[in-house]
Structure 1
Amino acid sequence: MRGACPTPQGALKLPKESDGYVRAIERGFALIEALGRSPGRHTLSEAAVHAGLNRATARRMLATLVTLKYCEADGRYFRLRPRALGLGLSYLNALPFWGYAQRALEDLRNDIGESCALAVLDETDIVYALRLPARRILSANLGIGSRLPAHLVSLGRVLLANLPPEQRDRHLANTPLRSVTPRTIIDTDRLARELRLTQERGYAWVDGELDPAICGIAVPIRDQGGSVVAAISINLISGTVSEVAAKKRYLVRLQKTAQDIRTQSVSTS
């Protein structure tokens, strides 16, 4: 492939240049993602490696991004400029429920005094669209745009449970289940049963499967047609509340918030 390094192990096999696929756009986004990696500034060589490009291609792409004001050069280093933030905000602003969801989750967080979040599904991960901590029970590095394996958290369980059956089965078949904590479900059949149960009861409860100190309860957000488009959760300290107690204390309020978000997004669309 001209202009690119060998595909890193585990990377997606992307289409070749054609009338329906412009490789320059792929490379530009790869560089933007590379520059967004910690520590937030990278040399040409570092950016090229992270993006899977050779130095000559990366140099041209970075020069273009500098001209377009998506990044800037500082000596040997390149870093993103605020304009790059608009790429992510374009997605959030396009979500019909996002603006109202901020206020709704703030009200819920203030009412119950616990951390709340909203996420969407992206392939095998959830991506946070909102996260409102009430206390430091989750990593401070988690925020809007952060990703977590969907099958390990309550938000992801709800979203996976409401996929079409064939898509859900494909996800289960292609997702390696590795033990992260002693409570992590690593049996595919058991996880499949959990997803079916989640869909039947309308909420997900996950306790200590990603972090032994964290548990959470989540419910879906549906669009006007009834399809699940996102999920919201309340996150708690594991051991301070059981599933039965969490359901009794929080489920109705969580479901009401989800319904309010749906109703508001429908009325403003």
Structure 2
Amino acid sequence: MFGAAVEAPRDIERPGDPEYMASLARGLAVLQYVAQRERPVSIAEASRALGFSRAAVRRCLYTLHQLGYVGHDLRGYSVRRKTTALGHPYLSLTAFAVRAQPLLDSLRDELGESCSLGVMEDDALCYVARSEASRIMAVGLKVGSTLPLYPTSMGRVLLAGRSHEEQDAYFARTQVRALTPHTIVDIPRLLVTIRRAAADGYALVDQELELGLRSIAVPVIDRGRVMAALNVGMSAARVSMDDVQARLLPALRRTAGLLRPA
């Protein structure tokens, strides 16, 4: 029903890893197996397919049934609608990126520069939509690419949307290093820059990620929170800082205002 067939896990126990919860891994494997079947599943069938004991499968299914993720009748076990909630954020983000693509294409055509849409994922900037200009940028970014948050315009906009406590915690666990001679690596200065971006409503980064690359980003706001960032990247030699703010920033803000999740 949902993707490829489940193979029997070979190393699901992982006895050498004290942080690993084998019982949770078994439960997720059972849930995935049931979700991928187009008919109800018996305990014996799941046990054979996954290589777990019948007792283990029974306990997993009992727990999943009590939590409302699977239903049970005389034919066996099948998933309930509650399982769709597990994938809803990902599916919503995917749909949002699909809807955003024509707007990015239009912005690219208007400005003649590459445009991107990004979100924060695991302390990194993740690109979810991108529209390339005819010029080839050396960074070679594409949908699914990830970059550090601190030296990027979108990353700073996304960090600017978090609380001061969350910003401090991010830098406490992040190794900041110079990617170019222009990269800001002083954390107090980075925090000032990020908090200024929150006040200004945009972040401008000049050759901190890669020499010759300049970018500007604005937040995409949903119900009062920053849920994504939209940026334009350009050659520092070709586009002046004045042009970035006078021509690109208004177009970015206009497009960001049109970007809203369903």
Using the size of structure 2 for normalisation, the TM-score is 0.67
Task: Note the C-alpha offset of 1:243.
Answer: 2.8
SS at 2:251 equivalent: helix
Q: Which residue of 2 aligns with 1:249?
A: 247
Task: Note the C-alpha offset of 1:5.
Answer: 9.2
Task: Note the C-alpha offset of 1:6.
Answer: 6.6
SS at 2:177 equivalent: coil
Task: Note the C-alpha offset of 1:112.
Answer: 0.9
Q: Which residue of 2 aligns with 1:137?
A: 137
Report whether the alignment pairs 1:22 with 2:48: no
**Given residue 22 of structure 1, which amino acid in structure 2 is its aligned partner?**
A
SS at 2:171 equivalent: helix
Task: Note the C-alpha offset of 1:180.
Answer: 1.1
Task: Note the C-alpha offset of 1:93.
Answer: 4.0
Matches within 5 A, 1:137-216: 137-140=137-140, 142-216=141-215
Tell me, which stretches of 5 or more residues in structure 2 are unaligned? Answer: 1-10, 30-50, 52-86
* Native 8 Å contact 2:153 2:203 kept in 1: yes
Q: Alignment identity in percent? A: 35
Between the aligned partners of 1:218 and 1:5, the Cα distance in structure 2 is 46
* Native 8 Å contact 1:109 1:115 kept in 2: yes
Between the aligned partners of 2:27 and 2:182, the Cα distance in structure 1 is 44
Report whether the alignment pairs 1:221 with 2:220: yes
Task: Note the C-alpha offset of 1:4.
Answer: 4.1
Task: Note the C-alpha offset of 1:245.
Answer: 2.3
Using the size of structure 1 for normalisation, the TM-score is 0.65
Task: Note the C-alpha offset of 1:91.
Answer: 6.2
Between the aligned partners of 1:25 and 1:120, the Cα distance in structure 2 is 27
* Native 8 Å contact 1:206 1:216 kept in 2: yes
Matches within 5 A, 1:91-110: 93-95=91-93, 97-110=96-109
How many residues align? The count is: 195
* Cα offsets for 1:141-186 (capped at 9, x unmatched): x211111001111111100111122111101222111111100111
Q: Over alpha carbons, which structure has the higher Rg?
A: 2
* Native 8 Å contact 2:14 2:20 kept in 1: no
Tell me, which stretches of 5 or more residues in structure 1 are unaligned? Answer: 8-12, 27-59, 61-88
Task: Note the C-alpha offset of 1:14.
Answer: 5.0
Distance 1:193 1:16, change over 3 A: same
* Native 8 Å contact 1:93 1:99 kept in 2: no
Distance 1:213 1:24, change over 3 A: farther
